[in-house]
Amino acid sequence: MDSSIIHFPDPEPRFNTETCFHMEVPYDAPVQLAPDEHSEFKWCGFDEAHDLMRWEGSKASVQLLRRKLERA
């Protein structure tokens, strides 16, 4: 875990597992959601995506992806 990007609000340990995926798709690729899992989607940049994330693990995944792509 990268302590430079993951910050917990209090000292009590809390654990949950989050799995995040990324992929490259064409700009005009159609999006089909599973209605039992998601109600909406949004294409956005890294900063907005980070701000929209509720959980620290999700925020960290956006930052890690950004770092990876900036090095490529």
Spell out a b/e string for 12-25, using b for 16 or more CB atoms within 10 Å of the CB, else e: eeeeeeeeeeeeee
| Position 17 in a domain | no
Q: Considering the domain boundaries, does residue 47 fall inside one?
A: yes
Structure confidence at residue 48 (pLDDT): 96
Q: Is residue 62 part of a domain?
A: yes
φ, ψ (nearest 5 deg) of residue 58: -70, -40
The whole-number pLDDT of residue 51 equals 94
The series of mean pLDDT values per 10 residues for the chain, 72 residues long, is: 62 71 88 90 92 89 93 86
Query: Would residue 6 count as lying in a domain?
Result: no
Q: What is the pLDDT of residue 22?
A: 87
Does the residue 34 lie in any domain? no
pLDDT at 8: 62
Closest listed residue to residue 58, CA positions, set 23, 27, 16, 25: 16
Range of the domain at 62: 40-72
pLDDT of residue 6: 64
32 assigned to some structural domain: no
